[in-house]
Amino acid sequence: MIELKNFICETCGVQYKCSNDVPEKCTICNEERQYVSFKGQTWTTLEEMIQEGTYRNTILSEDEGLYSLHTKPNFGIGQTAYFVKGNGFNLLWDCLTYLDQSTSKEIRDLGGIDAIALSHPHYYSSQVEWAEAFDIPIYIHEDDKEWVMRPSEKIIYWSGESLELHEDFVLHRIGVHFKGAVVLEWRSGNNGKGTLLSGDIVRVVADRAWVSFMYSYPNFIPLPASNVENVAAKLEGLKFNLLYDAFHRVIEEDANIRVQASAKRYMDALNGVLFTT
Ligand SMILES: [Zn+2]
Ligand SMILES: [Zn+2]
């Protein structure tokens, strides 16, 4: 009997639709915003990962109603996802490949999840496993539909520039890095001052007072000036004091002001204003 499996690419952590053999290649990694490991393409499955017993998820309290989720040791891209408790509506922002019984139990004990929303394809991971485990919908911008490797009835493709999931949670299409790239504005976060969950659409850099934006992070491909101006304009009107990115980096205060200053610095760099050499 042929056993169908949902294979997972070990470099990006994205799970594929059922097949009896490994996919020919990973669509997500064979593209300049990701990369195929120099060791070659390798695959696993969630069942194998659970059986190996190598991985576990840590869930840490970050701020009132905000928890970070991370797989240890790092798997795939190594991103952090966030569990956000709104007023009567709990959201999983971005996702992890690894999901086991103890993670599900821990999240249920925290109140469970009502929906998953994703910033962009690099974190689609095993989103369908999570959606099925909690019987909840997944919100993805329709402009990134072509990057969904495991289709599911759980996925709701939304369109336009923003979507209010709940009075607390608004998704905004920012459209850099990926065409359908999205950030989450959590209006009541940070005690009402607002929190932005930015995926890697906006990345906090080594100097935590600044952010940057890239077309490709692993391959260091920057954005054109028109895109940088666009991000700044779209984010300026959003309400956030605190910003969390997909790699657990934080801007703890005046994050909106810091994003605007960072966009200006980026433009200065593109225009050669920054340089004296
Ligand atoms: Zn991949
Ligand atoms: Zn990315």
Among residues 175, 140, 180, which one has the least CA distance to residue 157? 140
**Ligand at shortest distance from the CA of 9:** 1
The H-assigned helical ranges of 153-249 are: 225-236
- 33 CA → ligand 1 middle, Å: 11
Q: Is the pLDDT of residue 53 over 70?
A: yes
What is the end-to-end Cα distance of the chain in Å, rounded? 67
- 34 CA → ligand 2 middle, Å: 8
Q: What is the pLDDT of residues 14-23, one digit of tens each?
A: 999 999 999 9
- 218 CA → ligand 1 middle, Å: 13
Q: What is the pLDDT of residue 73?
A: 98
**Ligand at shortest distance from the CA of 40:** 1
Q: Which amino acid is at 178?
A: F
Parallel, antiparallel or unpaired: strands 138-141 and 155-158: parallel
**Ligand 2 is a single-atom ion; what residues have CB below 5 A from it?**
122, 200
Reported pTM: 0.96
**Ligand at shortest distance from the CA of 247:** 2
**Ligand at shortest distance from the CA of 8:** 1
**Ligand at shortest distance from the CA of 79:** 2
Q: What is the pLDDT of residues 156-165, one digit of tens each?
A: 999 999 999 9
- 68 CA → ligand 1 middle, Å: 23
- 79 CA → ligand 2 middle, Å: 9
Q: Is the pLDDT of residue 1 over 80?
A: no
Parallel, antiparallel or unpaired: strands 43-44 and 8-9: antiparallel
Q: What is the pLDDT of residue 30?
A: 98
- 193 CA → ligand 1 middle, Å: 37
- 177 CA → ligand 2 middle, Å: 7
**Ligand at shortest distance from the CA of 12:** 1
- 238 CA → ligand 1 middle, Å: 33
- 246 CA → ligand 2 middle, Å: 9
Distances (CA, A) of 240 to 31, 63, 117: 33, 14, 18
Residue corresponding to tokens 């204003």: 273
Distances (CA, A) of 173 to 108, 140, 148: 29, 10, 17
Q: What is the pLDDT of residues 181-221, one digit of tens each?
A: 999 999 999 999 999 999 999 999 999 999 999 999 999 99
Q: What is the pLDDT of residue 2?
A: 75
Q: Which amino acid is at 243?
A: L
**Ligand at shortest distance from the CA of 76:** 1
- 273 CA → ligand 2 middle, Å: 28
Q: Which amino acid is at 143?
A: D
DSSP E strand stretches across the chain? 8-9, 43-44, 56-63, 66-72, 81-85, 90-93, 115-117, 138-141, 155-158, 162-164, 169-173, 182-186, 195-197, 203-204, 211-212, 242-244, 250-251
